């Protein structure tokens, strides 16, 4: 039977996820989906001081928004404490881990000495049991840590799916602390136990974890496990070439939601941020899943390009179904206190505005025009913006509206054209004053479309004010 592919996203819930973090979820998700496997969400919350439930919410919300819901999880590491303790006990018993009583002070002294001798600071194996070695009696006043008995000699080799062959000599690795003096297990140890217990076959994660990998592989092997395939993704850089981070001003996923980005645009954008399928830039979620593979992951850092994201968002808005877009725009309209119940059909307004909008927020900004009160133009405003010589044409247009069909922009366009010909006018000469009469501004989308959306009764009302 072929091995069932199991991947995981293992964020630490510290309150903020930016696009780079989300990409670390996207690829394992896509890989599991493309192989008919399982995608697991594991919350690495053992750093209790920095972790919060609210941060977990943010992660879940972001993943749900992009429709990357896990098949299993969220699974919390804090709920595995008993299991970690059990494995620690087993390792102490089988000799792959040992108690180390070196105090904080002694460790510091050791480090200072090594630094003074220009050596790399590392634990010297003082409490490491070896055959034929007699260990001193443990001091009573020191709570011991537990250290992993790292193999001596040889090296750790893995074929990273992104970075290729990596070999780290065991000489580089000292005996890692896997439980603190208070007995709590440490990060690298918990990751290994979980990856093993969860039967993870592919660890796809940020390359800031490359250094942890040889240690994790050693621990995993000592537990009798087979290391998974590792794929370490290069960093995502921000616009200025810095590592993307909150500190450098990266936006959180929620910010993109609030600005009116569509999830499919974000997904498409993130998919391309470090992976490619030829030079195809626009693809659906299903295409992405169909095409995704580890072979085409980029090897160099990807750089965030906000303009490209905006361009993709525009693409998806322009091609979006007005009904769905209108649904998505409603909360934005509420936030801006736009009462879409009073005024033209919202879906029609959205359909009119979507071609030019980059974000949902821009659609809603544009929609305001249609839901404002009728303009109350002063006689001075009328005088300045609606030239006397155009008024007969406007009046005639208003009269024509009363008797003619004007539901579609084509019908309105035909009416306008007739008036233009009769009065020997060019479109702007008539369109600008009409726009002003309708909205007290000349900044509106195409007049024929605007009139069709506003509805002829309303247009007749508004034009009557300047008659």
Minimum separation from the CB atom of position 9 to ligand GLU (A):
7
**Which of 61/365 has CB closer to ligand GLU?**
61
* 219 contributes a contact to ligand GLU by CB under 6 A: no
Name which of 66, 43, 46, 65 is nearest 55 in CA terms: 43
CA gap 433, 203 in Å, rounded: 64
Interacting positions 137-196 with ligand GLU (CB under 6 A): 191
Interface region with ligand GLU, contact rule CB under 6 A, candidates 7-15, 92-100, 168-176, 394-402:
7-15
**Which of 11/344 has CB closer to ligand GLU?**
11
**Which of 161/329 has CB closer to ligand GLU?**
161
Angle at 198 between CA 196 and CA 201, to 5 degrees: 70
| Among 11, 144, 260, 413, interactor with ligand GLU by CB under 6 A | 11
Minimum separation from the CB atom of position 374 to ligand GLU (A):
55
- Is-contact 411 452, C-beta < 8 A? yes
Name which of 35, 44, 28, 41 is nearest 69 in CA terms: 41
| Among 6, 18, 33, 205, interactor with ligand GLU by CB under 6 A | 205
* 10 contributes a contact to ligand GLU by CB under 6 A: yes
Interacting positions 355-414 with ligand GLU (CB under 6 A): none
**Which of 16/283 has CB closer to ligand GLU?**
16
* 217 contributes a contact to ligand GLU by CB under 6 A: no
CA gap 263, 365 in Å, rounded: 20
Name which of 101, 103, 81 is nearest 184 in CA terms: 81
Helix (H) or strand (E) holding 217: helix 213-222
Total length of the chain: 467
Interface region with ligand GLU, contact rule CB under 6 A, candidates 9-17, 87-95, 255-263, 309-317:
9-17
Angle between helices 447-454 and 427-439 (to 10 degrees): 30
Counting residues that bind ligand GLU (by CB under 6 A) gives 7
- Residues β-bridged to residue 7: 39, 202
Q: Collapsing DSSP states into helix, strand and coil, what is residue 312?
A: helix
Minimum separation from the CB atom of position 150 to ligand GLU (A):
19
b/e map 134-161, b = 16+ CB within 10 Å? eeeeeeeeeebbbbbbbeeeeebebebb
* 207 contributes a contact to ligand GLU by CB under 6 A: no
Residues 6 or more apart whose CB falls under 8 angstroms from that of 328 comprise: 262, 360
DSSP secondary structure string for all residues of 381-433: HHHHHS-GGGHHHHHHHHHHHHHS--SSHHHHHHHHHHHHHHHT--HHHHHHH
Is 426 assigned to a binding site? no
* 44 contributes a contact to ligand GLU by CB under 6 A: yes
Minimum separation from the CB atom of position 172 to ligand GLU (A):
20
Minimum separation from the CB atom of position 168 to ligand GLU (A):
17
Tokens read off for 73: 């999880």
Minimum separation from the CB atom of position 288 to ligand GLU (A):
21
Tokens read off for 275: 């992976």
* 45 contributes a contact to ligand GLU by CB under 6 A: no
Minimum separation from the CB atom of position 185 to ligand GLU (A):
14
Minimum separation from the CB atom of position 102 to ligand GLU (A):
28
**Which of 102/190 has CB closer to ligand GLU?**
190
Minimum separation from the CB atom of position 205 to ligand GLU (A):
4
* 245 contributes a contact to ligand GLU by CB under 6 A: no
Residue nearest to ligand GLU according to CB distances in the complex: 205
At 313, give phi and psi (nearest 5°).
-60, -45
* 12 contributes a contact to ligand GLU by CB under 6 A: yes
Spatial strand order in the sheet of 145-148: 97-100, 145-148, 177-179
> Would you list which residues are annotated within the binding site for ATP?
246
Q: Give the residue ranges of the annotated binding site.
A: 246
* Binding interface with ligand GLU (CB under 6 A): 10-12, 44, 191, 205, 209
């Amino acid at each position: 039977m072929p091995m069932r592919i199991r991947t995981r996203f293992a964020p630490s819930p510290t309150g903020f996820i930016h696009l780079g973090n989300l990409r670390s979820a996207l690829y394992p998700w896509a890989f599991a989906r493309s192989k008919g496997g399982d995608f697991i969400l594991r919350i690495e919350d053992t750093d209790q001081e920095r972790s919060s439930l609210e941060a977990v919410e943010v992660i879940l919300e972001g993943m749900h928004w992009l429709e990357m819901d896990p098949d299993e999880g969220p699974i919390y590491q804090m709920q595995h404490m008993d299991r970690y303790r059990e494995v620690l006990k087993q390792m102490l018993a089988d000799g792959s881990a040992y108690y180390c009583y070196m105090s904080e002070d002694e460790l510091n002294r050791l480090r200072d000495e090594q630094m003074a001798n220009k050596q790399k600071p590392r634990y010297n194996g003082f409490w490491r049991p070896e055959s034929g070695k007699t260990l001193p009696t443990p001091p009573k006043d020191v709570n011991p840590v537990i250290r992993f008995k790292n193999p001596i000699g040889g090296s750790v080799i893995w074929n990273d799916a992104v970075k290729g062959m990596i070999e780290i000599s065991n000489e580089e690795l000292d005996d890692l602390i896997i439980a603190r003096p208070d007995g709590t297990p440490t990060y690298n140890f918990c990751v290994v136990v979980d990856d093993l217990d969860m039967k993870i076959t592919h660890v796809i994660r940020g390359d800031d974890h490359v250094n942890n990998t040889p240690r994790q592989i050693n621990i995993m092997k000592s537990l009798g496990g087979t290391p998974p395939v590792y794929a370490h993704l290069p960093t995502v850089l921000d616009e200025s070439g810095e590592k993307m981070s909150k500190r450098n001003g990266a936006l959180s996923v929620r910010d993109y939601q609030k600005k009116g980005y569509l999830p499919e645009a974000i997904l498409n954008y993130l998919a391309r941020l470090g992976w490619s399928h030829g030079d195809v830039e626009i693809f659906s979620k299903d295409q992405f899943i169909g095409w995704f593979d580890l072979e085409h992951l980029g090897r160099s850092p990807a750089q965030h390009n906000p303009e490209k994201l905006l361009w993709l968002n525009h693409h998806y808005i322009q091609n979006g179904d007005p009904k769905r877009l209108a649904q998505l725009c409603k909360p934005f309209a509420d936030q801006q206190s736009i009462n879409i119940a009073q005024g033209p059909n919202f879906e029609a307004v959205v359909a009119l505005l979507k071609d030019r909008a980059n974000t949902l927020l821009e659609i809603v900004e544009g929609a305001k025009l249609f839901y404002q009160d009728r303009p109350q133009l002063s006689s001075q405003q009328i005088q300045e913006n609606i030239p006397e010589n155009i008024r007969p044409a406007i009046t005639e247009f208003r009269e024509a509206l009363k008797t003619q069909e004007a539901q579609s922009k084509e019908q309105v366009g035909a009416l306008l054209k007739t008036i233009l010909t009769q009065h020997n006018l060019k479109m702007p000469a008539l369109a600008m004053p009409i726009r002003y009469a309708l909205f007290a501004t000349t900044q509106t989308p195409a007049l024929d479309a605007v009139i069709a959306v506003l509805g002829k009764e309303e247009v007749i009302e508004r034009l009557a004010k300047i008659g």
